[in-house]
Amino acid sequence: MKANFEERYSRQILFRGIGSDGQRKLAAGRVAIVGCGATGSALASLLARAGVGTLRIIDRDYVEASNLQRQSLFEEKDAAESLPKAIAAARKIADFNSEISAEARVEDAVPENINELLDGMDVILDGTDNFESRYLLNDYAVKNSVPWIYAAAVGSYGVTLNVLPNQTACLACIFPDAPGGMVETCDTSGILNSAVNLVASIAATEAMKLLIGDEAIGLLRKTLWSFDVWKNEHSEIAAATPRPGCRACGDRNFVHLMGEGRPHITLCGRNSVQIHERARPIDFSEMQRRLESHGVVRHNEFVLKFWREPYEMTLFPDGRAIIKGTTDSGVARSLYARFVGS
């Protein structure tokens, strides 16, 4: 028998900062989580259990065994089936809280679809793994006056920033340009699940304050906060006011929304390249028949997997593909053209 609303959230309602009114505001809240890897899956789990009424989970990727060390919504069977992360997350959420809506969107958030993906959301949360995507979220949020929360974790380090458009500094205020040179990723530096869970817990709590509003808004942190769980070091950078002359919140020059200079993105944690093909619907059964003479192939309703040594191709229904075994976009596009079509 299902618990009623007051019983399910009784321990949270008892917390003075939330109460019955705050809990009902959470139930009416609509949150987009862009990226459902380590940070994104922890955010989705925390907010689903807290009773946020609608979670739109947007992710381009699929579950692998190496994800299970830190990505809390997934199981071994999800990895065995190469289940898209958004689908796997929504299914797991339905198992522990069927009273909220978890919308799975198996898509890559890009300038062409960002407006549709984030339309109607109250808060946007960052579960991505690259600055190009974060600048895109920042442009959208600032232009449309939607609060969003930047969050990242690598190694033993986590960092997060609340962005309230036209009130606080935005991501472009703090980082006018993406970090140059060798940038640490979980592929190069590894990652502790404790660092992930710490930064996700902080970001999820700040998101709850945004949804509850009123006095909770005054308690929002207005700094770029970072913490190293291994070294026990932390720091904060003031972010209470926008930076004069900021490209995004000052000049309202939304270059990332316009897609200018958008580079090819390689995926965190894998020797892979993503091929963006958004207008090529794929019939998996027909594609399997075409590919069987060229290598090993299998599919479910969400993805088709094709292995031809030394490469692995994961094909999605909209024509998008992830080619594993290379970081050379030319090689990846050649493989795609050969086996899927030009």
Catalytic residues, by residue number, are 186
CA distance 313 to 316: 10
E-assigned strand segments in the chain:
30-34, 54-59, 101-106, 123-126, 148-154, 157-163, 223-228, 233-238, 272-275, 296-299, 304-308, 311-315, 321-324
CA distance 96 to 77: 18
Alpha-carbon torsion 124, 125, 128, 130, what sign?
Answer: positive
Alpha-carbon torsion 284, 285, 287, 293, what sign?
Answer: positive
Neighbours of 228 (CB within 10 A): 16
Question: Which residues have CB under 8 Å from 212's CB, separation 6+?
Answer: 17, 18, 22, 25, 26
Which residues in 185-211 are b (16+ Cβ under 10 Å) and which e? Answer: bbbeeebbeebbbbbbebbbbbbbbbb
Cα–Cα separations (whole angstroms), residue 309 to 14, 146, 268? 57, 45, 22
CA distance 128 to 134: 7
Using an 8 Å Cβ cutoff, are 125 and 340 in contact?
no
CA distance 226 to 228: 7
Using an 8 Å Cβ cutoff, are 190 and 66 in contact?
no
